[in-house]
Structure 1
Amino acid sequence: MLVNNLFLLKSVGINFIFTITTSILGFFLNRYFVVYLGINYLGVIKLFTEILAYLSIVDMGIGSAAAYGLYKPLAEKNYEKINIVFSTLKSIYIKISMFILIFGVVITFFLGFFIKDIVITNEIKIYWLLMVSNTAITYLFGKYITLFNSDQKFNFVKIVQGSTRIVSFLFQIILLIRFQSFLGIGILIVLESIFQYVIYSIYYRKKYSYINITKARDKTIFKNLKNLFYHKLAGLVVFNTDLILISKYVSIEIVGIYASYQMVYRMIMVLIGILIGVISPITGRYIASHSKKDIFKLFNLLNTLFIILAIISSYLFYNLISSFIGIWLGEKYILSQGTSFLITINLFIGISRQILEIFKENSGFFDDIYNPIMEAVINFVFSIILVKFYGLNGVIIGTIISNLIVVMGIKPIMTFNRAFDKGIIDYIKIYGKNLILIFFTFFIGNFLKKYFIIKILNINTWILQGVILTLLILFVTVIVFLIDKDFRKILKEKRWEK
């Protein structure tokens, strides 16, 4: 057990170091991109990333299904089964890579449809083709990543990914400063993927020489693909549609600006994801060996913790994001406080929903395919209607509406019933209580804030303001949540199962 815990801590540490380093370099890269090439080119890059995400939907979650199919045979050293599963994965990923390459070339002729206000030059078309090629290459070595992760070699994978990304970012920054080359950035991204492919191939040949490619195929891999596909499609519509709609109906400049806000948003979510990576397996083991009554108690404790985390993160994001964008990119790229508020709502929901998702998945609740479909439809319909009236804010409001109806309403009610044997009354009690605590925490925090505001002149005063506001919201949150018995249990360090 001690070895497993040390291994887990090491994995978290490696993940954290590379995440922080690549995020910091990413902020510098975005800044230099805006300075030397302009916000429109940044918008084009972010838009292309979202379009490529739609092309990647063709994999239908095959990597997750194959990983599940590899766990047992790898543990039991069942080489025949490993050969079949890996051969199946390799065959599918080659087909996916070819599909992306072919359809990516076809989309080149329709790029003007997605962009409202700039001319599609040959330079932009070549960059798009470079990004298509890069995505196709990632699927060629995707089979290796799935195999290595299934075999508990995720530290190796993270080191390779993190190291190559850091080197690539450094070269991209140098290229921007020295040559201001848009196409050069695309070439470096492709070279990064090729380098990863070479490293993974060498490691595979060295460590997995026992694997022999066979014509046999593992049909069980496709068993859960239908459910996985619906969840992936919904996630794609919810999280990878905004920039396409903004580019089509607002402007590519707003895409670049909003994407910069999203970059901060996603960095926060990545850091939360590291914590999730630790909590999820622990929760899974707990669920497997405890009653639903005890599981529900654990959910309440962790749910309280994540609500507090969401409150602190959202409060700091709302109060610091505008000044950060001003220092980072320039004051002309600051969105209105109203827009920042809408983004903050989605950030709060994005963090607070994580625990429910963990308990839902670890309880084996995967067949709710209508929830993701409903979430995707509501999000897209409201976004495409509201963007015509409210522009960028309309797109964000569309996401908020789908989040409130499905993520904060339908999904938790269903999970309460399936995972905890609890009804809608229990849902109302828990979420109603939390809503009251959240309201009072934000109300008091915003009221007291005016006494602690300092003038932000540079990054040093911004950091000082961040420290002050962090201490303030921590103090207010603790005071308000002392009302909650689950929070008091956490402070008293009582065992979760009691």
Structure 2
Amino acid sequence: MVKMDRKLNSTRSLFFGLINKLVSLLLPFVLRTIMIYSLGVEYLGLNSLFSSILQTLSLAELGFGTAMVYSMYKPIAEGDNAKISALLNLYKKIYRFIGCIILAVGLCLSPFLEHLINGSYPNDINLYLLYFIYLGNTVISYFLYAYKQSLLVAYQRNDILSNISTVINFALYVLQVAVLFLFKNYYLYIIILPISTIINNIIVSRIVDKKYPEYVCNGSVTSEDLKEIKKRVGALIGHRLSGTVVRSADNLVISAWLGLTILAMFNNYFIIITAIIGILSIINTAITPVIGNSIIVEEVGKNYRDFNKVFLLYAWLVGWSTIALVVLFQPFMILWMGKNMLFSFSTVILLGVYLYFYLIRQTVLIYKDAAGMWWSDRYKPYAEAITNLILTLTLVNFIGVNGVLISTIISVVLIAIPWETYALFKNYFKLQPIKYYIKFATYILITLISGIVTYEICSYIPDGKFGYLIVKILICSIVPNILFLLAVCRTQEFKGLISIAIGIVKNKYIGYSKYNKKI
């Protein structure tokens, strides 16, 4: 059985993932700013609308990619090349079938586009042509080499995907900025997307072929393996549905009920939330395959201790991020978009609550995904999605955007978190989750106290100038972290995290010293 260098792979994925996220989050922010001043706010709303429609169509993927990556963990650990080749062959065939489904459903939806927009949209564009370009960009990967990415993910080499994505995205955003400056043409701006997708797929394919030549798409999986994959996919359908409803349906409802301008304003705020989620998702991407390998080769007790360390790390990062978001949102938006593009502070509070509970559950989800435990809570996503959709369609008529956010928060806090936690602790750790909930409540209390203290300090600093914003950023960087450190510094989980950090630093130093000696 092969034991991978989990710390090295995790650290490498974190480092290159961070670089990729900085490019893929900062440059779109610049792009969004240029677009709103060169083309107008409604074009931003169209971007969000098309993206949400196509995320909904991507439900056809049904979580198959996640199930396939999980299915590769064991044969990789055992060196079973024939089985991996058979899985790749299956993956390739099903992905192309999925591409056909998305294309067909996407074409069938096109006559209803105008009904998803409340009010007007820019009259100098062909709504359907733009939609078809977006649809083509989504479908391309399914017909090319997207299935080959699963090998890199299963081998814990997300850093390679990050490096490719960084280069391609950087070139994409630079070209799009140039188009906006030189031509102010939305069609040229959009047509670059499928071109970059094709190039990305080709590069990934060439690298995978060169790095893993022993794997070719041939052979068939056994009936037993196929049955297990079908079971995982069947469980993942609901999880995909829930995630799409929570993320994409909100945008569709806002567009259809409140219009493109409100949708653009909402996404001006949400792009910051997306940036925070994106940066923290680097941890998910880096450690999920690492934990998957650990679950196979380590005993449950060790994995439970590691789980508590990861939970502390997440609670700290999520708490800090939430505090910074609530304190800095309005001062930043005033400088970026102006006071006429602001939502009320109540919306900011709800965005903070949404971010906190969306992210704090990730520790449980990481371990569930790594252990392939999608069947145990297979009914949860349906309950979450239906509850969220009913509440959203009801509350948006009375309290607008706040109703959309409240609906999502209720479905996550009352349905998703308890159900997911119960499934993991009952089926894998074989423990009652009472200690987890005590830690959960403790971390919420620490975050709340730290947030109030930080907000009160920053309230003495006026808004409207960049220098004042920098001061608030410094306060948000120092005060919450000091308070969190004081609260958790004596816990076993904190001491464990410090030991891991020291070990990583020592390994890096030793590796660097050996490298210098060789030179």
- After TM superposition, the score normalised by the length of structure 2 is 0.85
Aligned-residue offset at 1:249? 0.8
Residue by residue over 1:136-160, the C-alpha shift from the partner in whole angstroms, topping out at 9 and shown as x without a partner, is 1021221222244345554333222
Match 1:240 to one of 248, 254, 262: 248
- Tell me which residue corresponds to 1:58: 60
Aligned-residue offset at 1:175? 0.4
Match 1:162 to one of 163, 166, 172: 166
Counterparts of 1:310 and 1:153 in 2: how far apart (Å)? Answer: 25
Counterparts of 2:500 and 2:18 in 1: how far apart (Å)? Answer: 28
Counterparts of 2:339 and 2:328 in 1: how far apart (Å)? Answer: 13
- C-alpha spacing 1:170/1:392, structure 2 compared with 1 (3 Å): same
- Tell me which residue corresponds to 1:423: 432
Aligned-residue offset at 1:308? 2.3
Residue by residue over 1:443-469, the C-alpha shift from the partner in whole angstroms, topping out at 9 and shown as x without a partner, is 333344435x254412x5423320122
- C-alpha spacing 1:446/1:197, structure 2 compared with 1 (3 Å): closer
Match 1:189 to one of 190, 193, 215: 193
Matches within 5 A, 1:364-403: 364-367=372-375, 368-403=377-412
Q: Is it true that 1:463 corresponds to 2:470 in the alignment? A: yes
Name the aligned partner's letter for residue 402 of structure 2. Answer: N
Matches within 5 A, 1:166-185: 166-185=170-189
Matches within 5 A, 1:310-325: 310-325=318-333
- C-alpha spacing 1:407/1:441, structure 2 compared with 1 (3 Å): farther
Match 1:478 to one of 479, 482, 485: 485
Counterparts of 1:81 and 1:479 in 2: how far apart (Å)? Answer: 50
Name the aligned partner's letter for residue 421 of structure 2. Answer: P
Match 2:135 to one of 124, 132, 154: 132
Of the structure 1 ranges 85-94 and 151-160, higher mean CA displacement relative to structure 2 is found in 151-160
- Tell me which residue corresponds to 2:202: 198
Q: Is the 8 A contact 2:309 2:494 kept in 1?
A: no
Q: Is the 8 A contact 2:148 2:208 kept in 1?
A: yes
Name the aligned partner's letter for residue 224 of structure 1. Answer: R
Residue by residue over 1:15-72, the C-alpha shift from the partner in whole angstroms, topping out at 9 and shown as x without a partner, is 1112112211111001011111111111111111011011111111222223334455
Matches within 5 A, 1:210-229: 216=220, 220=226, 221-229=229-237
- C-alpha spacing 1:486/1:447, structure 2 compared with 1 (3 Å): farther
Aligned-residue offset at 1:285? 5.8
- C-alpha spacing 1:186/1:432, structure 2 compared with 1 (3 Å): closer
Residue by residue over 1:450-492, the C-alpha shift from the partner in whole angstroms, topping out at 9 and shown as x without a partner, is 35x254412x54233201222122233334456x745775698
Aligned-residue offset at 1:301? 4.0
Q: Is it true that 1:142 corresponds to 2:146 in the alignment? A: yes
Counterparts of 1:119 and 1:297 in 2: how far apart (Å)? Answer: 53
The SS at the match of 1:241 is helix
- C-alpha spacing 1:11/1:477, structure 2 compared with 1 (3 Å): closer
Q: Is the 8 A contact 1:114 1:248 kept in 2?
A: yes
Q: Is it true that 1:351 corresponds to 2:359 in the alignment? A: yes
- C-alpha spacing 1:455/1:84, structure 2 compared with 1 (3 Å): closer
The SS at the match of 1:224 is helix
Q: Is the 8 A contact 1:137 1:193 kept in 2?
A: yes
Q: What runs of 5+ residues in structure 2 fail to find an aligned partner?
A: 502-519
Counterparts of 1:74 and 1:416 in 2: how far apart (Å)? Answer: 27
Counterparts of 2:456 and 2:303 in 1: how far apart (Å)? Answer: 37
Residue by residue over 1:361-412, the C-alpha shift from the partner in whole angstroms, topping out at 9 and shown as x without a partner, is 4455322112111111111111111001111111011001111102343332
Counterparts of 1:152 and 1:493 in 2: how far apart (Å)? Answer: 23
Counterparts of 2:335 and 2:473 in 1: how far apart (Å)? Answer: 14
Name the aligned partner's letter for residue 172 of structure 1. Answer: Q
- Tell me which residue corresponds to 1:100: 102
Q: Is the 8 A contact 1:309 1:351 kept in 2?
A: no
- C-alpha spacing 1:209/1:276, structure 2 compared with 1 (3 Å): closer
Name the aligned partner's letter for residue 130 of structure 1. Answer: I
Counterparts of 1:6 and 1:242 in 2: how far apart (Å)? Answer: 39
Q: Is it true that 1:91 corresponds to 2:93 in the alignment? A: yes
- C-alpha spacing 1:412/1:176, structure 2 compared with 1 (3 Å): same
The SS at the match of 2:373 is coil
Residue by residue over 1:177-223, the C-alpha shift from the partner in whole angstroms, topping out at 9 and shown as x without a partner, is 11111111111111111222333454466566666655856651434
- C-alpha spacing 1:299/1:101, structure 2 compared with 1 (3 Å): closer
Aligned-residue offset at 1:340? 0.8
Q: Is the 8 A contact 2:137 2:193 kept in 1?
A: yes
Counterparts of 2:214 and 2:94 in 1: how far apart (Å)? Answer: 21
- C-alpha spacing 1:206/1:423, structure 2 compared with 1 (3 Å): closer
Name the aligned partner's letter for residue 271 of structure 1. Answer: I
- Tell me which residue corresponds to 2:514: none
Q: Is the 8 A contact 1:300 1:486 kept in 2?
A: no
Name the aligned partner's letter for residue 325 of structure 2. Answer: F
The SS at the match of 2:126 is helix
Name the aligned partner's letter for residue 179 of structure 2. Answer: L
- Tell me which residue corresponds to 2:265: 257
Counterparts of 1:295 and 1:3 in 2: how far apart (Å)? Answer: 16
Counterparts of 1:194 and 1:278 in 2: how far apart (Å)? Answer: 25
Of the structure 1 ranges 256-265 and 126-135, higher mean CA displacement relative to structure 2 is found in 256-265
Counterparts of 2:473 and 2:302 in 1: how far apart (Å)? Answer: 38
Aligned-residue offset at 1:414? 4.2
Counterparts of 2:500 and 2:7 in 1: how far apart (Å)? Answer: 21
Q: CA RMSD in A?
A: 3.1
Q: Is the 8 A contact 2:36 2:44 kept in 1?
A: yes
Counterparts of 2:488 and 2:82 in 1: how far apart (Å)? Answer: 55
Of the structure 1 ranges 112-121 and 286-295, higher mean CA displacement relative to structure 2 is found in 286-295
Of the structure 1 ranges 289-298 and 325-334, higher mean CA displacement relative to structure 2 is found in 289-298
Q: What runs of 5+ residues in structure 1 fail to find an aligned partner?
A: none
Matches within 5 A, 1:38-57: 38-57=40-59
- C-alpha spacing 1:440/1:413, structure 2 compared with 1 (3 Å): farther
- C-alpha spacing 1:291/1:473, structure 2 compared with 1 (3 Å): same
- After TM superposition, the score normalised by the length of structure 1 is 0.88
Q: Is it true that 1:437 corresponds to 2:446 in the alignment? A: yes
**Paired positions, count:** 493
Counterparts of 1:283 and 1:79 in 2: how far apart (Å)? Answer: 22
The SS at the match of 1:398 is helix
Q: Is it true that 1:410 corresponds to 2:395 in the alignment? A: no
Q: Is the 8 A contact 1:292 1:421 kept in 2?
A: no
